[in-house]
Amino acid sequence: MHTNDQPAVTNKGRIKWIWSALLVLFVLGCYQIVAGYLKPYSVHPVRVEVEIPLGSNANTIANILAEKQLIRHPKVFYYYTRIKGISQDLKAGTYVLDASWSLDKIASTLTKGGRAETVRLTVPEGLKLEQIAQRIEDAGLASKEEFLEAAGREYNFDFLAEIPKGPKYLEGFLFPDTYEVRADATPDEIIAMMLRRFGQVYSDEYRERQRELGLSTFEVVTMASIIEREAKLDEERTTIAAVFHNRLQKKMLLQSCATVQYLLDEPKVDLTTKDLEIDSPYNTYKYQGLPPGPIASPGKASLEAALYPADVDYLYFRVDPERDGAHIFSRTFAEHSMVGR
């Protein structure tokens, strides 16, 4: 009898071992899932303004944060605050939170109430990096020197991967817009915010179009920056873009005054012969092709013009003396030379 019972005991032991192993795997699986939910929502800084209404409990707040894509799962945040003993300390108010913050930092911030003072910063289209830095200083956010130093550091955005690194490698990529900036934001945070905005505007459709044209993002932004500085009227952007595209295809010099202006300490109404002789690859009167990089920060309209130029065969344009900001376009040098005579 004893020997016949032994297999039954062995089977029971195996079943117990299997259930124990399954339990361990289940616990490990749950731990990995919860650990994943505890991670910040984003690896990059993403500032989001959040309004927490009066009377909101921890569960309501968790749902608001999840909807704003600041946390990975509302229930995890809810139970986290319960375990920490701060679920009753979360306060109503307007906050500027960041999706790259840890769950603990977001929860801790929500116990303090209110938000940091913000500064409205407007960066118009067509400014150079130094001019943007001056705007930052004028807004009281950081000194011009601090901002330019930060602009020389590397930032992890895919559209910057192909760009040669240097003090001005962000030229053209700090997107012109109106921003609400925390008064205590660092230059690096301000730059990341502007780069993130560029990434939002420069869509997958734009990337597909640049591939059709055989251009890189860097080349498109460089072209768009020239268009931004040359065009005064929105309706002329695509035509000016066509002139530059046509000249590049024919291996003609671009001869853009805007690229020469980029080399001057102070802008001029009219360039001199001496200015046009400046020996620099940015001088498109002397060097063929696009300049080494953007000469200003282009807006969306100029980016689109660079990607979708007008279907015209113009090769020249010059200022129209009878229409403010307008240009006269020509197909041949002979036509161009006769304009204004």
Residue type, 61: I
CATH class held by domain 47-110: alpha beta
The pTM assigned to this predicted structure is: 0.67
- For the chain, residues with pLDDT lower than 70 are 1-13, 17-37, 54, 114-117, 339-341
Q: How many H helices and E strands in the chain?
A: 14, 6
Q: How high is the pLDDT of residue 64?
A: 95
C-beta contacts of 321-326 below 8 A and 24+ residues apart: 324/232, 325/232, 325/233, 326/232, 326/233, 326/236
Q: Hey, is 155 helix, strand or coil?
A: coil
Contacting residues for 5 by C-beta, under 8 A, at least 6 apart? none
Q: Tell me, what's the pLDDT at 173?
A: 98
Beta bridge partners of 50: 95
Listed by start position, the domains of the chain span 47-110, 118-201, 226-338
Which pLDDT score is estimated for 1? 45
Question: Residue 115 and residue 209: Cα distance in Å, rounded?
Answer: 41
Other CB atoms closer than 10 Å to residue 131's CB: what's the count?
A: 15
Res 29: pLDDT: 53
